[in-house]
Amino acid sequence: MQEAGEGSSAVDVKDLRREYVTRSFLKKTTKVTAALDGISLRVARGELFGLIGPNGAGKTTTIKILTTLLSPTSGSAKILDLDINKDMYEIRRRIGIVFGGERGLYNRVTAVENLKYFADLYGVPPSEITGRVKKMIEMVGLEGRENERVEKYSRGMKQRLHIAKALIHDPELVFLDEPTIGLDPGGARDIRNMVRGMKKDGKSIFLTTHNMFEADELCDRVAVISRGKIVALDTPAGLKKSAKDISVIELQTYGADANFVQRIEKIGGVTRVVADLDSERQSIRVQTEFPTEVLPTIVGLAGDVNIIDKSIREPTLEDAYLRLVEE
């Protein structure tokens, strides 16, 4: 695992745990589930850090704790060298948060009114508010629409407004919780460019995502979280390197069926087979440590199955990720 350098950090988390106690009133039973099971990580100032993991792995819990919305059960967390339990309001002043999804904006008033309101709540000096709002509207490209009610906005526009809202007080550290979820490719690209812009402006960024391509493209380092534990933490390149033992054979076939896939799974050295058999033309991905030996074996097994395309490629971040979270 690669560590951020010593010195001042944007996020510094040690052995963070968060348990949920659910009580059934009638049955008088209590059940403790650990949403976070002792995670530790550090994000350097100016770094763009990604947290990836499946649904329910603890991403949102982590972000809630780091943004002071939720107390941890145990462990410590420092944001911009401030303690999340002691300096809550100071931390909030210096961070920005982009919540995922559509929630979090006042739909019945305009974008400008939303931004002014949050500028006030975040204590932006009143004389600077108009200027800041204008700048943010321009930055996220909502000029011309800024005086419309937010309810008329498309999903993508709302998300851009979310970003403007999160940056209205010029925070040092920005949390983005799945910022591109539900956006079309163009909208997602715009958001990614804004995130790059933030980094260029020297902000530290903590991002969660499902999108491996996005994590690979944007992040300096990535932590993989699974069942409340950090199972890997490295640069995207480093993570891919760790999966070097698994190359992937990609096949395009006609006539492949479940039986064929089963036979491939039985070949020695094959660790994982992912097949899409639903369409006329099937795609099969075979993970293996020994692609050059395995590929001829598959071809030998083919029989009636017509292999129209075959290739061996280096593991992607997704391959590395899938192996980590499924282990």
Partner 1 sequence: MVSRVQAVRAAARMTMKIFFADPQWIIPAIIAPFIFTLVALLLFRNETGPLLLYAVLGGGLMGMWGTTVYGSGTSITFDRFNGTMEATLAAPVPLMWIIGGRVAWNTFIGVINGGIILVIGTLWFRTGISIANPLAFTFATVVTYVSLSSFGLMLATVYVLTRQGGFIMNSLEVPVYIATGTMFPVALLPLATQPVAFILGPTWGIEAIRKAAIAGYTGLATSYWTDIGILAIETAAYFAISFYLFGRVERLAKRNGTLEEY
Residues at the interface with partner 1 (CB under 8 A): 18, 20, 61, 64, 67-71, 89-93, 97, 99, 102-109, 113, 116-118, 120-123, 126, 149, 165
Strand order through the sheet with 221-226: 95-98, 173-177, 204-209, 48-52, 221-226, 229-234
CB atoms within 10 A of CB 75: 16
Instruction: Indicate the residue type of 283.
Output: S
Is the Cβ of residue 22 or residue 259 nearer to partner 1 in the bound state?
Answer: 22
Widest CA span in the chain:
77
CB of 107 to partner 1, least distance (A): 7
Is the Cβ of residue 102 or residue 220 nearer to partner 1 in the bound state?
Answer: 102
Please identify which residue in the block is written with the tokens 């997704």: 318
CB of 166 to partner 1, least distance (A): 10
DSSP reduced 3-state for 163: helix
Is the Cβ of residue 54 or residue 104 nearer to partner 1 in the bound state?
Answer: 104
Is the Cβ of residue 78 or residue 323 nearer to partner 1 in the bound state?
Answer: 78
CB of 317 to partner 1, least distance (A): 30
CB of 229 to partner 1, least distance (A): 19
Gap between the Cα atoms of 307 and 202, Å rounded: 50
CB of 41 to partner 1, least distance (A): 20
Q: 140 with 160: CB under 8 angstroms?
A: yes
Length of the chain, please?
327
CB of 297 to partner 1, least distance (A): 51
Is the Cβ of residue 120 or residue 314 nearer to partner 1 in the bound state?
Answer: 120
CB of 159 to partner 1, least distance (A): 14
Strand order through the sheet with 306-313: 270-276, 281-288, 247-254, 306-313
Query: Which tokens belong to 215?
Result: 């994590």
Rg over CA atoms, the chain: 23
Could you list the beta-strand ranges (E) of the chain.
9-24, 29-44, 48-52, 74-79, 82-83, 95-98, 173-177, 204-209, 221-226, 229-234, 247-254, 270-276, 281-288, 306-313
Is the Cβ of residue 93 or residue 210 nearer to partner 1 in the bound state?
Answer: 93
Is the Cβ of residue 169 or residue 240 nearer to partner 1 in the bound state?
Answer: 169
Is the Cβ of residue 47 or residue 177 nearer to partner 1 in the bound state?
Answer: 177
CB of 228 to partner 1, least distance (A): 14
CA distance readout (Å), 77 to 63, 70, 90, 220, 327: 11, 12, 14, 21, 28
